[in-house]
Amino acid sequence: MSHTDVEASASETLLVEPSRLSPTRRALGTVLRSRELSIFLVLVAVTVLATSKNESFLFSSDGLRNFLLNPSILLLLAVGQGVVIITRNVDLSVGSVMALTAYLTGRLFIEVPGIPVVAVIAACLVVGALLGLVNGALVAYGGVPALVITLGTLYIYRGIMLTWAGSDRINAGDLPREFLRLGTRTTLGIPWMTILAFVVLAAVGYYLHTARGGREMYAIGSDPDAAVLYGLPVKRRLLAAFVLSGALAGLAGALYTARYGTVSSSVGSGIELQAVAAAVIGGIAIFGGSGTVWGAAIGAFLLVTINRALPSLGIEDFWQRAVVGVLILGAIVLDRVLATRQARKLAESRDHS
């Protein structure tokens, strides 16, 4: 048998009979193929390391509460951002939408005394969805790249917020106690905000992987031209993705006000990049068509946990940012490597058959 035949036989064995591989290699292959599992293991490692240096990081009432509560807002943004990226787009306006609805939350409680909390949250969802609708309409029907559109609306929405707010500042004293409890109350030790974020995550994740519309979003992200030729409602799905992203940013704005009790002009500044980073680190391909919002949620937890853990380990701020940058670059490189290997294996499999 020639050397080429030996290589082909080995390749075929790896493709068809993975059970012949050693348990270690099978486990390593599973971790590498499952981006969600690999990033979860990184999250566990960071948490264990930080807890070994400071037990109160996790093993205390406040430590566990903060571990679950702090990523909730970023998780909502990352889920919406993840859906948009799956369609091969990006939404850079979510931070400004969050800021606008956070200030709207405070103004509603001030201007309309006694307004129900549910009504305020619903108003933030509607406003966020409308702002997302503007983005989606310009991208889907205007044919303008999402990067350009949402970069523009990032500044426009922020400008509206600054013009409306001026030098005004929303304080905890302006907000009703029942609303502020959303940021502090727990059930069985789990914060209400975290439960709400997980409910949203479960609903969006279920839709993407079971509903026809969700699968069509993946198809659009994989090959937009082919999706058009196949007759998929591309414009409608793109519009829906941006509306969802805007609505979740609006919800995040309301929860931000409940969590921190104050709203200033700097709310949400730069958080749109964290949302993109969480989605990419969590395994959603920046070129669209693959990944899950579950991974984006784990990515959000990892980013927030790193920001909490590294200072306790004595690592300077510069290196904290560098670690996040390395994670983003590593995620993109890994995506390309795995995609290339998968394409090569499929080509070899077709050749053998």
Q: What is the mean pLDDT of each run of 10 residues along the chain (353 residues)?
A: 40 42 56 72 86 80 86 96 95 95 94 92 96 96 93 95 87 89 87 95 95 94 90 94 97 94 87 92 86 93 87 72 77 70 69 68
Q: Say how far apart CA 224 and CA 218 lie, in whole Å.
A: 10
Q: Say how far apart CA 5 and CA 2 lie, in whole Å.
A: 5
Task: Choose among 203, 214, 216, 192: nearest CA to 121.
Answer: 192
Compute CA 351 distance to the chain's CA centroid, rounded to the nearest angstrom: 39
Q: Evaluate whether 329 touches 311 at the Cβ level (below 8 Å).
A: no
Element (H, E) at 312: helix 293-312
What are the start-end ranges of the E strands in the chain? Answer: 186-187, 190-191
Q: Which residues contact 26 (CB under 8 A, 6 or more apart)?
A: 18, 19
Q: Evaluate whether 100 touches 248 at the Cβ level (below 8 Å).
A: no
Question: pTM of the predicted model, to two decimals?
Answer: 0.85
Identify the residue whose tokens are 């390749």. 11
DSSP type of residue 266? T
97, β-bridge pairs: none
DSSP type of residue 188? T
The SS3 of residue 191 is strand
Half-sphere exposure of 109 (CA within 13 A, CB side): 27
Question: Tokens in use for 189?
Answer: 């030790």
Answer CATH for 38-352 from 1.25.40, 3.30.70, 1.10.3470, 2.20.25: 1.10.3470
Q: Say how far apart CA 268 and CA 256 lie, in whole Å.
A: 9
| pLDDT of the residue at 253 | 95
What is the DSSP track for 60-91?
A: SHHHHHHHHHTTHHHHHHHHHHHHHHHTT---
Task: Choose among 247, 100, 92: nearest CA to 161.
Answer: 100
| pLDDT of the residue at 34 | 67
Q: Say how far apart CA 83 and CA 218 lie, in whole Å.
A: 9
For the chain, give every residue range classified as CATH 1.10.3470: 38-352
191, β-bridge pairs: 186
Q: Evaluate whether 13 touches 19 at the Cβ level (below 8 Å).
A: no
